[in-house]
């Protein structure tokens, strides 16, 4: 069952694309996602896929070619990071509003200022409100598995939205780990063909895409888009259930790790979950009731489900690998805290901004966060909620 | 088959009337002329940059486009249509479609000379089988007549106003046709509306049916921005050609060909005086502006003659 391999996260994504054999890839190199189009263009050069690869002159054009190709009726993919995603910004919204199920492999890297090539989530967090579904991955296996599920979710007729599959730059994109791949035939069976209802190259029914919508229509277009994102929740779970049947690997909106009787918990995204799980395991051995929630699906945001999973906990630290410069915390903190507002009993909550620009996060850092949560639980006071972890003040 | 305007206009329109472009605007004339050059049996996907053309022809729930049409953003028409063309190639290769499609992008000078320049350069270099048509009205008309790099020297626009110390636009017009010719694409041409539309029709046909990337630069005057009476559209384009302000030429596989030489090259005043945007140039004491303008046009014309003389 499955093919055992050792691959980096970038290779895992490139191989997922190879197995899927999409119609079009438009991409531009940027560290640390460069390897994805690099590997893929080699597959094209060797005839291992018959995808058309467009080596564009910018990420802006990468997303533009994907928009053109997807609107034309093709399955279009791209990969980028950091400033590349920022340059695509305008078109992320265009792709979502035109309801084009493009797939983007985002290899998370800090946004420039200062320039930095290492991981944080400022790039994709900045894009979280552009109308894309966002799936986050802890490791190369999850990056691969998320990519295999992405098109089934985005191309579902109740959804028709673009999907961003995120993984942590260098930490997982370049680290080689064991991975279990699905056989290519099974990938093709699972992902299936893209069969849009309307597209530019449909001879019997020419269409116009990308209208000017005045105030008389704009809000209805947005409401329909919002409904698609609501619909995506159910589709994400359906696709995950089918994926589990094929692979035995289980996915949901988030992963709960030792949460059953947890009194203190952290909420985290991406590769830090691996480090944090080790901290939880050690602390559990010491008899401490600690647990972890790892967000997989940020858009659509699993508000009710998170509230149910966290309401019984005494104190929670939400870990943000991105600033939002609100002067009161990171983006994930704002959303998780809001999710708990309707609960009758709520945990005390704090926010840790951590790991910006690739700053290492250690087991000890996470243990420190848990110790803070214990103090908060004991004192009954959250104190300062906007905190930094592992920073020189 | 020789060109016949009567026959050309018998073809069914691919761009419907009833759109909201101004009377006397060159853009819809450019679009109709180009789309008429498509063989009736061929299908097309048309793309437009954000522009007057886009917002006036595809105002939800109405579209003036009978062929499939896509608008994405201001600066990416060339990249967008190259994505469509690539999708066509792969879907054809995979046996999912069998018809013949042609791919045409339209942009104003703002979307072409300026904000869309990188995207256009990229698409031309990559060699997509497409035509990029610039309808050049020499300013950002959609936002209210702001200067672009295509705006001519001394032109009065809302961001290069003719004032007491600055006489309109300080810089000369960018020569984009030449810049695209330097991309070594198989077909580049400059045209406008003249006489029986033979020049623009034949160039559009060549652009569409030459394999690979092609670029058409069409002078498409704007009555609001240039300040001329709507009915004078064809007088303006004629004067532009007769004064050599807008010469008609093509560059085929690197070979420069002059398509029209005025019997008597008219002075630039014959073109400038018809337009309000140049009216300050005719005030007493501003004669130097007209002289400078004439000198620039003469230099560019000589340069063009030289390029065309090399065969």
The 10s digit of each residue's pLDDT in A21-40 is 999 999 999 999 999 999 99
The 10s digit of each residue's pLDDT in A287-300 is 999 999 999 999 99
Nearest CA in chain B to A26: B83
List CB contacts (< 8 A) between A24 and chain B. 83, 86-87, 90
Nearest CA in chain B to A73: B87
Q: Does an H or E element contain A234, and which?
A: helix A218-247
How high is the pLDDT of residue B1? Answer: 60
Compute the nearest-CA separation of A360 from chain B (Å).
38
The 10s digit of each residue's pLDDT in A247-279 is 999 999 999 999 999 999 999 999 999 999 999
Which comes out higher in pLDDT, residue A1 or B160? B160
Top CATH class of A254-388 equals alpha beta
The answer, yes or no, to whether residue A1 has pLDDT greater than 90, is no
Beta-sheet pairing, A208-209 with B68-71 = parallel
The answer, yes or no, to whether residue A66 has pLDDT greater than 80, is yes
The 10s digit of each residue's pLDDT in B126-151 is 999 999 999 999 999 999 999 999 99
Task: Using alpha carbons, list the distances in angstroms from residue A322 to A120, A302, A326, A392.
Answer: 6, 19, 11, 17
The answer, yes or no, to whether residue B2 has pLDDT greater than 90, is no
Task: Specify the length of chain A in residues.
Answer: 393
Q: Are A273 and A255 in contact (CB under 8 A)?
A: yes
Q: Is the omega angle on the peptide bond into residue A114 within 30 degrees of 0, that is, cis?
A: yes
The 10s digit of each residue's pLDDT in A117-144 is 999 999 999 999 999 999 999 999 999 9
pLDDT > 70 fraction of chain B, expressed in percent and rounded: 99
What average pLDDT does the segment A154-160 reach? 98
In CATH terms, are A3-247 and A254-388 the same topology?
yes
Q: Strands of chain A (E only): list them.
A: 3-7, 24-27, 52-55, 76-80, 103-108, 133-136, 163-168, 177-181, 208-209, 254-257, 264-269, 290-295, 297-299, 315-320, 348-353, 386-388
Question: Which residues neighbour A80 within 8 Å (Cβ) at sequence distance 6 or greater?
Answer: A27, A28, A30, A33, A59, A62, A88, A104, A105, A106, A107
- Residue pointed to by tokens 């940027």: A30
A68 touches B: beta carbon within 8 Å: yes
Compute the nearest-CA separation of A217 from chain B (Å).
7
B16 touches A: beta carbon within 8 Å: no
List CB contacts (< 8 A) between B41 and chain A. none
The answer, yes or no, to whether residue B243 has pLDDT greater than 80, is yes
Those of residues 191-250 in B touching chain A at CB distance below 8 A are none
Find the Cα–Cα–Cα–Cα dihedral A331, A335, A336, A341, rounded to 10°.
Answer: 140
How high is the pLDDT of residue B311? Answer: 67
Report the alpha-carbon distance of residue A251 to residue A268 in Å, rounded. 16
pLDDT > 70 fraction of chain A, expressed in percent and rounded: 100
The answer, yes or no, to whether residue B121 has pLDDT greater than 80, is yes
B23 touches A: beta carbon within 8 Å: no
Number of C-beta neighbours around residue A135 at 10 A: 27
Q: Do A203 and B99 touch (CB under 8 A)?
A: yes
Q: Per-domain residue ranges for chain A?
A: 3-247, 254-388
Report the alpha-carbon distance of residue A381 to residue A390 in Å, rounded. 22
Q: Do B83 and A68 touch (CB under 8 A)?
A: yes
How high is the pLDDT of residue B150? Answer: 98
CATH superfamily of A3-247: Thiamin diphosphate (ThDP)-binding fold, Pyr/PP domains (3.40.50.970)
Taking all residues of chain A, what is their mean pLDDT, rounded to a whole number? 98
Q: Do A213 and B60 touch (CB under 8 A)?
A: yes
Q: Does an H or E element contain B258, and which?
A: strand B255-258
Secondary structure class of A134 (helix, strand, coil): strand
The 10s digit of each residue's pLDDT in B68-78 is 999 999 999 99
Taking all residues of chain B, what is their mean pLDDT, rounded to a whole number? 97
Those of residues 271-290 in B touching chain A at CB distance below 8 A are none
Beta-sheet pairing, A177-181 with A3-7 = antiparallel
The 10s digit of each residue's pLDDT in A192-228 is 999 999 999 999 999 999 999 999 999 999 999 999 9
Those of residues 80-99 in B touching chain A at CB distance below 8 A are 80-91, 93-94, 96-97, 99
Q: Is the omega angle on the peptide bond into residue B61 within 30 degrees of 0, that is, cis?
A: yes
CA A182 remoteness from chain centre: 21
Q: Do A206 and B69 touch (CB under 8 A)?
A: yes
Residue A386 tokens read as 């906007």
- Identify the band that residue B229 occupies on the pLDDT scale cut at 50, 70 and 90: very high
What average pLDDT does the segment B36-60 reach? 97
Those of residues 95-124 in B touching chain A at CB distance below 8 A are 96-97, 99, 101, 118-119, 121-123
Q: Does an H or E element contain B46, and which?
A: strand B43-48
């Amino acid at each position: 069952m499955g093919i055992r391999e050792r691959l980096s996260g970038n290779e895992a994504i490139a191989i997922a694309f190879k197995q899927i054999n999409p119609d079009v890839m438009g991409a531009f190199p940027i560290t640390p996602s460069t390897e994805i189009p690099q590997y893929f263009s080699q597959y094209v050069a060797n005839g291992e896929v018959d995808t058309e690869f467009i080596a564009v002159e910018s990420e802006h054009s990468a997303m533009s070619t994907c928009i053109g190709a997807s609107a034309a009726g093709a399955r279009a993919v791209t990969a980028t990071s950091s400033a590349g995603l920022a340059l695509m910004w305008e078109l992320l919204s265009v792709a979502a509003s035109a309801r084009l199920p493009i797939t983007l492999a985002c290899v998370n890297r800090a946004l420039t200022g200062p320039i930095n090539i290492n991981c944080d989530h400022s790039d994709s967090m900045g894009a979280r409100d552009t109308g894309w579904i966002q799936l986050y991955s802890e490791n190369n296996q999850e990056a691969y598995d998320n990519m295999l599920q992405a098109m089934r979710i985005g191309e579902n007729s109740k959804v028709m939205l673009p999907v961003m599959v995120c993984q942590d730059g260098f930490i997982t994109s370049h680290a080689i780990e064991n991975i279990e791949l699905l056989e290519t035939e099974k990938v093709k069976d699972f992902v299936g063909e893209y069969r849009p209802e309307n597209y530019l190259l449909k001879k019997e029914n020419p269409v116009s895409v990308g209208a000017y919508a005045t105030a008389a229509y704009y809000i209805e277009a947005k409401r329909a888009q919002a409904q698609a994102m609501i619909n995506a929740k159910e589709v994400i779970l359906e696709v995950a259930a089918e994926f589990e049947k094929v692979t035995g690997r289980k996915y949901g909106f988030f992963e709960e790790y030792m949460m059953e009787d947890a009194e203190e918990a952290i909420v985290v995204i991406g590769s830090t979950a691996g480090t944090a799980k080790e901290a939880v395991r050690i602390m559990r051995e010491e008899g401490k009731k600690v647990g972890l929630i790892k967000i997989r699906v940020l858009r659509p945001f699993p508000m009710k489900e998170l509230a149910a999973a966290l309401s019984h906990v005494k104190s929670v630290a939400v870990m943000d690998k991105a600033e939002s410069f609100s002067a009161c915390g990171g983006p994930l903190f704002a959303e998780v805290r809001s999710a708990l507002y309707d609960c009758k009993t709520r945990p005390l909550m704090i926010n840790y901004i951590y790991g910006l620009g690739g700053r290492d996060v250690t087991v000890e850092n996470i243990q420190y966060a848990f110790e803070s949560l214990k103090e908060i639980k004991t004192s009954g006071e959250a104190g300062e909620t906007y905190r930094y972890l592992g920073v020189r003040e | 088959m020789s060109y016949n305007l009567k026959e050309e206009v018998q073809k069914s329109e691919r761009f419907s009337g009833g759109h909201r472009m101004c009377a006397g605007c060159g853009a819809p004339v450019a679009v109709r002329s180009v789309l008429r050059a498509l063989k009736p049996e061929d299908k097309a996907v048309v793309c437009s940059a954000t522009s007057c053309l886009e917002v006036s022809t595809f105002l939800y729930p109405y579209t003036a486009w009978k062929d499939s049409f896509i608008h994405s953003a201001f600066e990416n028409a060339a990249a967008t249509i190259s994505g469509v063309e690539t999708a066509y190639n792969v879907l054809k290769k995979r046996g999912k479609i069998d018809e013949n499609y042609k791919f045409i992008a339209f942009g104003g000078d703002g979307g072409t000379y300026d904000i869309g320049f990188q995207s256009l350069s990229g698409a031309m270099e990559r060699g997509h089988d497409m035509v990029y048509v610039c309808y050049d009205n020499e300013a950002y008309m959609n936002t209210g007549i702001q200067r672009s790099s295509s705006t001519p020297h001394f032109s009065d626009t809302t961001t290069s106003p003719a004032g007491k110390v600055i006489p309109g636009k300080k810089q000369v017009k960018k020569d984009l046709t030449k810049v695209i010719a330097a991309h070594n694409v198989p077909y580049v041409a400059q045209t406008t509306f003249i006489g029986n539309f033979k020049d623009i029709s034949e160039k559009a046909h060549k652009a569409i049916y030459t394999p690979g990337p092609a670029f058409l630069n069409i002078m498409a005057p704007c009555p609001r921005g240039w300040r001329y009476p709507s009915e004078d559209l064809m007088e303006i384009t004629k004067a532009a050609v007769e004064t050599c302000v807008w010469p008609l030429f093509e560059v085929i596989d690197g070979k420069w060909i002059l398509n029209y030489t005025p019997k008597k090259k008219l002075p630039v005043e014959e073109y400038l005086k018809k337009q309000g945007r140049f009216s300050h140039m005719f005030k007493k004491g501003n004669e130097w502006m007209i002289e400078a303008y004439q000198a620039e046009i003469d230099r560019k014309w000589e340069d063009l003659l030289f390029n065309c003389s090399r065969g």
